[in-house]
Amino acid sequence: MFTLAPWLIWITPLTGALLTLVLARIHSKVRNYAAVAFTLAAAILATYTALTVAPGDYQLDWMPSFRLASGGSPLRAGVLVDPLSMFMINIVAWISFLIMVYSLGYMKGDDGLTRYWFFMNLFIGNMLLLVLADNLLMMFFGWEGVGLCSYALIGHYYKDQQEYWVGTPGDQALGMPQAYPPSHAGMKAFVVTRIGDIALLIAIFLIYAYAGTFNYNELASKLSGGGNWAASLARLGLLVPTAILFFGGPIGKSAQFPLQEWLPDAMAGPTSVSALIHAATMVKAGVFLTGRMGPVFYAALAQFGQLTPFFGTIAWIGVITAFLAAIQATVQREIKKVLAYSTVSQIGYMMLGLGVAGLGTDFLLGYTAGLFHVMSHAVFKASMFLAAGWVLHAAESRFMDEMGGLSQVLRLTTISMFIAGFSLMGIPPLSGFWTKDQVLFASYSAGQFVLYALALATVLLTGYYTMRMLGMTFTGKPSHHLQEVVEHGGHLHEAGLVMLVPYFLLAIGSVAIGIAFPFIRDRLTTYLSSTILIPTSATAVVQASPVPGLSLELLLTIVSVVVAASGAAIGYYRYFGGKHPFTMKMGAVEHFLFDRLYLNAIYYKIFVNGMMLAAHALYRYIELGIWNKLNMIVPQRFYRYSEASATLDTRIVDGAVTGIATSGSRLSNLLRRLQTGVTEQYILGFAIGIFLLLLYMIFVIGAS
C-alpha cells in the first residue's frame, strides 16, 4: 500500500527549496512568503500523518536489482510511520515553521535572502527525510544533506565581515586564534562532523554485509535464527566495534565529546540558523538515530552479554559532554555562545538517558527520558535563541558585558527569556524540570551513581550560567556601549510581532508542556514504547521493570530542585542588579575555561597545524628533496645517454655505412675504367679469358 502524505512531508520543503530560485525572479515577497508556506505545509502534513495514517512502512521500488550481500533483499525506498518518527517530525516541522516566520523579520533586507531561503528549506527537508527514512541508506542521504546545508547556513555571511565573527578577535589559547569568521566556522562544522560520518558509514555497511538489508524493521527481525546478523558479527569480534562505530555518527552530528568543538563556532551564522540547528534539527539528528537503533543494538548485544561497552560509552560520553560544556558556559562573553554550550550540555543529558537505558533493568525509563528531553529542549531553546537574536539586534552587540538593563525596554522579550531560562534550569513546573529530572531518575535507578552525581553537578552549573546570562543581559544599568548606541541615534525597542510571536509562543509552550506533562507522561511512554520493534522470538527482548516507589522519585526531585535553585541563587547574587563588572576580568581558572579547556587549541595544533607541517615536510623533503632531484637527474642521464648514442651513431654506424658506400663507389669507379667501349679490347679480353680457362682445365682438372 502506498500512502502519499508521509512522502510529501519531506518532499514539500525540498520542492520549496527548488522553487525559491524560480519565485525570486517574480518578486522578493512572493519568494519570502512561499518559502515559509512550504514549511507550514510540511508541518500540517506531519500532524495529519500522525493523526490519520496507520503505522507502517510505506515503500516503493528504488534499486530492486541491487544486492550487496548474498541473499540480501533488494533496495527499496520507504518512509516509516511509527511513534518515534511521528513524535520527532512534528517537533522538527512546527519549530522549523516558527523559525521561518521569525526569519521574515530577522533577515529582512539581507543581500543573500534567495540563498538563505533555499538552504533553510533544503535543510528542513533533509532533516525530515532523515527522520522518516525506513532504512539506514536512505537515512544517510538526509544525514549528509543536513551536513551540507549546515556548512552553507553557518557560513551565510561568507564575506566574513568582522561583525559576524564568533569569538573576540585577538583572543588566543596556546598561541592559536580563538575567533573565527563565518566561512571558517561553516567549514569547521562540515569537516568535524564528517569524522563521525565516516565511522557511521563503515558501521552501516558492516551491518549490511551480514544482515543483507538496510531496513530498520528487517534488522530487528533478523536477530534470531540462522540469519542472525548480530551473531555473525559477534563470532568475528565485530559486534561491539560496529555498534561503537555507529555511535560515532551521533557523536559528530550532536556535538558530543570529543567532537563538540564545531558547535560553539556555528554561532557565526544568523541567529535564526543557530535556532534551527540547535533546537530541533541537526544536533538532534544524532539523538534521534541513537533512539532509532538503540533498541536494536540492545537486543543484539544482550544475546552475548555485551550491553555495557556500548551503552556505557553512550552514557559516559553524554555526561562528560554535559559537564564540560556547562563549565565552559559559565565564563562566556557572548550570549549566543552561552546558549551554544548549553545546547551541547543538554544534548549530553539526552545521550545520558539513552545510555543508562541499556545499563539498568528498565530500558524504557531511560529511553523515554532521553526522547522527552528532546521535545522539551527543542521548545525552550528555540525560544531562547530567537529572543537572543532580537537582543543582539537591539543592543548592536553580541557581548553580554556590553548589554545590561534591557528589561526596561524589552519587556516581553525579557519575560520570554526568563520563562525559557527557568525551563532550562529545571525549575518546576516548566517542561525542562520534568524531562531533566526523568533523566536524573533513570540514571539513579540504573545504579549509575557516578553518572548521576556528574549530571547533578551539571544541574548546579546550569542554574548558575543561566542566571548569569539573564542578569548580565537584562538587569542593572545599561552598559557604556548601550549608552553610546542611544547617544548616536540608536533606538532600543521591542521586537515586531513577526519576530516576537514565535519566541513568545515557544516560551508559553514550555509552560503548557510543563503543566500537562505529569498527566500525559504515561501515555507518551506507552506511545513511544511501541516504536521498539524487537520480536519476541529474539534471544533478548527489551523489558521494563516495575516503576520504583514514589518516595524515591520525590526525594530525587527535591534534591534536583534544590541543586538547581542553589546554582541560580549564586548566579543571582553575583550578576543581578548591575553587580557584575562590565570589564569581565578573569582569573586563571576562568581563563582556562574561557579558552575552551585548551581542547579547541590542541585540535588546531594537532590536526590543522600538524597536517600543515606534515604537508610542508612532504613538500620540502619528498617533493623538493627527492622528486625534484629525480626530475633533474633523470633528464640529465637521458641527455648524456643521448650524447653517447649520438657519438656511436656518428662514429660507428654512420662510419660503417659511409665506408661501405665509399668502397662500393671505388669498385664501381674501377669497373667503370674497364668499360672503355673499344671492340678490339673486348676481343682481346675474351681471348685471354679463354686461354686461362684452357690452362685450368688441362693442368688442374686433368691432373685430378
- pLDDT single digits (tens) 165-219: 999 888 899 999 999 999 999 999 999 999 999 999 999 999 999 999 999 999 9
Confidence at 75, pLDDT banded by 50, 70, 90 = confident
* pLDDT on residue 536: 41
Confidence at 639, pLDDT banded by 50, 70, 90 = low
Please give the Cα distance from 110 to 651 (Å, whole number): 80
* pLDDT on residue 419: 98
Please give the Cα distance from 608 to 588 (Å, whole number): 26
Q: 57 φ, ψ to 5°?
A: -110, 105
Please give the Cα distance from 554 to 685 (Å, whole number): 144
* pLDDT on residue 545: 47
Rounded mean pLDDT of the chain? 89
- Lookup: cell for 316: 559516559
Q: 180 φ, ψ to 5°?
A: -135, 145
Residue 535 has pLDDT above 50, yes or no: no
Residue 603 or 534, more confident: 603
Sequential DSSP letters for 192-215 = HHHHHHHHHHHHHHHHHHHHS--B
| Residue 185 CB burial class (10 angstroms; 0-12, 13-18, ≥19) | buried
Any idea what DSSP says for residue 598?
A: G
- Give me the mean pLDDT over the 25-45 stretch: 97
State if pTM tops 0.85: yes
- Give me the mean pLDDT over the 340-361 stretch: 96
Residue 647 or 293, more confident: 293
Confidence at 430, pLDDT banded by 50, 70, 90 = very high
